[in-house]
Amino acid sequence: MDAASSAGGLNFELPEEIRMLKDTVRRFVDRELIPIERNARDGHKLKPEVRAHLTAKARELGLVGYDVPREYGGLGMGLVAKVTVWAELSRTIALPSRAGDVFGPNVSPILYHLNEEQKQRYLLPTIRGELNWCLAQTEPDAGGDPGSMRTTAVRQGDHYVINGMKRFITGADDAHYAQLIAATDRSKGSHGGISAFIVDMKSPGVRLLRSQELVVDDRPWEIAFEDVKVPAENRIGEEGDGFGHAQHWLNVGRIRHGARSMGVIERCLELGAGYAKQRVTFGKPLAERQAVQWMLADSFMELHQLRLMVYDAAWKYDEGRDIRTEAYMAKIFGDTQSFHAADRCMEIHGGMGLATDLPIEKFWRDQRSMMITEGPIEILKMTLARHVLRTYG
Ligand SMILES: Cc1cc2nc3c(=O)[nH]c(=O)nc-3n(C[C@H](O)[C@H](O)[C@H](O)COP(=O)(O)OP(=O)(O)OC[C@H]3O[C@@H](n4cnc5c(N)ncnc54)[C@H](O)[C@@H]3O)c2cc1C
Q: What's the pLDDT tens digit per position in 18-55? A: 999 999 999 999 999 999 999 998 877 889 999 999 99
For residue 355, what is the DSSP state? -
Closest C-alpha among 314, 382, 380, 304 to residue 341: 304
Asked if 310 and 265 touch (Cβ cutoff 8 Å), the reply is: no
User: Is the CB of residue 137 below 6 angstroms from any atom belonging to ligand 1?
Assistant: yes
Residues 6+ apart with CB under 8 A from 305: 333, 337
Q: What value does the mean pLDDT take over residues 350-371?
A: 97
- Whole-model pTM: value is 0.94
> Ligand 1, closest atom to CA 142?
26
Q: How many residues does the chain have?
A: 393
How far is C-alpha 305 from the chain's CA centre? 19
The residues pairing with 183 across neighbouring beta strands, listed in sequence order, are 152, 194
pLDDT at 212: 95
pLDDT at 254: 95
Q: What value does the mean pLDDT take over residues 61-87?
A: 92
**Residue 299 in this model has a pLDDT that exceeds 70:** yes
Ligand 1: residue whose CA is nearest its atom 19: 373
Q: What value does the mean pLDDT take over residues 313-328?
A: 96
Q: What percent of the chain has pLDDT over 70?
A: 97
**Residue 140 in this model has a pLDDT that exceeds 90:** yes
pLDDT at 98: 63
User: Is the CB of residue 216 below 6 angstroms from any atom belonging to ligand 1?
Assistant: yes
pLDDT class for 113, splitting at 50, 70, 90?
A: confident
Secondary structure (3-state) at 231: strand
pLDDT class for 376, splitting at 50, 70, 90?
A: very high
| Per-residue model confidence as pLDDT tens digits over 232-259 | 999 999 999 887 777 777 889 999 999 9
Give all strands (DSSP E) within 212-347, no chain letters: 221-231, 235-236, 280-281, 284-285
Dihedral angle of Cα 335, 258, 172, 104, to the nearest 10 degrees: 150
| Residue numbers annotated as active site | 374
| Residue of 168, 254, 335, 339 with the most ligand 1 atoms within 8 Å of its CB, for mutation | 168
- Between 247 and 299, whose confidence is greater? 299
Tell me, in angstroms, the distance from the centre of ligand 1 to residue 271's CA: 31
Ligand 1: residue whose CA is nearest its atom 12: 138
Q: What value does the mean pLDDT take over residues 335-354?
A: 98
**Residue 94 in this model has a pLDDT that exceeds 60:** yes
The residues pairing with 152 across neighbouring beta strands, listed in sequence order, are 163, 183
pLDDT at 5: 52
User: Is the CB of residue 170 below 6 angstroms from any atom belonging to ligand 1?
Assistant: yes
**Residue 1 in this model has a pLDDT that exceeds 50:** no
pLDDT at 109: 79
Tell me, in angstroms, the distance from the centre of ligand 1 to residue 201's CA: 23
Q: What value does the mean pLDDT take over residues 297-303?
A: 98
Q: What percent of the chain has pLDDT over 90?
A: 80
Neighbouring CB atoms inside 10 A of 227's CB total: 11
- Between 374 and 162, whose confidence is greater? 162
Region of poorest pLDDT, from 177-191, 241-255, 271-285: 241-255
Tell me, in angstroms, the distance from the centre of ligand 1 to residue 184's CA: 22
How far is C-alpha 85 from the chain's CA centre? 12
Closest C-alpha among 364, 338, 339, 351 to residue 275: 351
Mean pLDDT over the full length of the chain = 93
Q: What value does the mean pLDDT take over residues 223-239?
A: 96
| Per-residue model confidence as pLDDT tens digits over 156-174 | 999 999 999 999 999 999 9
CA distances from 185 to 155, 196, 233, 347 (A): 10, 12, 18, 50
User: Is the CB of residue 146 below 6 angstroms from any atom belonging to ligand 1?
Assistant: no
Q: What value does the mean pLDDT take over residues 133-145?
A: 92
Region of poorest pLDDT, from 141-145, 331-335, 386-390: 141-145
Q: What value does the mean pLDDT take over residues 56-65?
A: 91
Q: What value does the mean pLDDT take over residues 116-126?
A: 95
Q: What value does the mean pLDDT take over residues 349-374?
A: 96
**Residue 132 in this model has a pLDDT that exceeds 70:** yes
Closest C-alpha among 253, 267, 249 to residue 89: 267
pLDDT at 100: 63
pLDDT at 78: 94
Tell me, in angstroms, the distance from the centre of ligand 1 to residue 372's CA: 5
Ligand 1: residue whose CA is nearest its atom 23: 143
Euclidean distance between CA atoms 363 and 264, whole angstroms: 7
pLDDT at 108: 80
